């Protein structure tokens, strides 16, 4: 991979201030799932948000990814307050600022690898020649330039996830948001993907926020935010022992 390392800076990619989130319940009223979530993520960081099932980490991820809005509090993405944007405005934010990598890859099975990687550029209105050029550049970066005409069903799980990473990178996003990125992979493929994330972060300075429930996966990052019962219980360097996170 060509080195183009950017130093970490004090530029805030993510700034969440006293974020709370509640959902209506069937019998009436609301259930609060996030309580005063406050943290910043600076440019060039590799952060894991970790917690058990039901902890609120997925709700937090949806707010970070502009897939949902908080009930109260303020969320700024790259200095812009997006707390109260409309659904259409949030869609623009997602397309322009965030690259997503999902557990189940979310690739279009009947479209080629190249078509899948080009997809974000289509929504931005790039001409076809530019889409192809940028998509091929990203496929080369993830080592899959020889597979552009393949369908996702013809690829291994690890290769599918690298296609998803290429798709996430093609629009030159400010942030990569990875949701349980190794959940559908075996341990070797998962390790390869996590090593690739480290490489993207260290050599290209790409900011990565990774959602996980496994401490072993969080150890690939440089910082860990632990959420339990909707509250942040730890925010700092990844500890050597998971017992530090236990209440």
CATH code of the domain containing 38: 3.40.50.300
- In-domain check, residue 228: yes
Give me the pLDDT at residue 186, please. Answer: 85
For residues 143-152, average pLDDT = 95
- In-domain check, residue 210: yes
- In-domain check, residue 244: no
What beta strand segments (E) does 78-218 contain?
A: 80-81, 98-101, 175-179, 207-212
Measured distance CA(84)–CA(76) in Å, rounded: 11
- In-domain check, residue 246: no
Domain count, the chain: 1
* 194 neighbors 217 (Cβ within 8 angstroms): yes
Structure tokens at 117: 């990687």
Q: What percent of the chain has pLDDT over 70?
A: 96
- In-domain check, residue 243: no
Query: What pLDDT, in 10s, does the model give residues 48-84?
Result: 999 998 999 999 999 999 999 999 999 999 999 999 9
If phi > 0 it is left, if psi is from -120 to 50 it is alpha, else beta; for residue 56 that is left
Mean pLDDT for the chain overall: 90
- Burial class of 236 by CB neighbour count within 10 A (0 to 12, 13 to 18, 19+): exposed
Q: Which one is predicted more confidently, 85 or 26?
A: 85
Give me the pLDDT at residue 65, please. Answer: 95
Which residue in 201, 243, 232 sits closest to 47, CA to CA?
201
- In-domain check, residue 245: no
Report field, pTM of the whole predicted structure over 0.75: yes
Measured distance CA(205)–CA(137) in Å, rounded: 18
- In-domain check, residue 1: no
149 is in which domain, residue-wise? 12-238
With residue 150 as reference, give the H or E element that holds it: none
- In-domain check, residue 147: yes
């Amino acid at each position: 991979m060509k080195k183009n390392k950017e130093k970490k800076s004090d530029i805030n990619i993510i700034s969440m201030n006293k974020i709370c989130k509640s959902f209506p319940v069937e019998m009436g009223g609301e259930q609060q799932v996030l309580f005063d979530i406050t943290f910043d993520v600076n440019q060039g960081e590799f952060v894991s948000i970790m917690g058990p099932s039901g902890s609120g980490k997925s709700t937090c991820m949806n707010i970070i990814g502009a897939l949902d809005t908080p009930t109260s509090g303020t969320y700024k993405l790259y200095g812009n307050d997006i707390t109260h944007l409309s659904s259409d405005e949030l869609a623009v934010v997602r397309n322009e600022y965030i690259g997503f990598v999902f557990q189940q890859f979310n690739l279009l099975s009947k479209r080629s690898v190249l078509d899948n990687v080009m997809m974000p550029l289509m929504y931005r209105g790039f001409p076809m020649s530019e889409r192809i050029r940028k998509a091929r550049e990203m496929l080369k970066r993830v080592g899959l330039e020889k597979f552009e005409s393949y369908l996702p069903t013809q690829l291994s799980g690890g290769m599918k996830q690298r296609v998803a990473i290429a798709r996430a990178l093609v629009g030159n996003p400010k942030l990569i948001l990875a949701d349980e990125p190794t959940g559908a992979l075996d341990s070797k493929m998962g390790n390869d993907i996590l090593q690739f994330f480290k490489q993207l972060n260290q050599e290209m300075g790409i900011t990565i926020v990774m959602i996980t429930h496994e401490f072993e996966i969080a150890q690939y990052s440089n910082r860990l935010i632990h959420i339990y019962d909707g509250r942040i219980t730890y925010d700092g360097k990844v500890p050597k022992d998971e017992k530090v996170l236990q209440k």
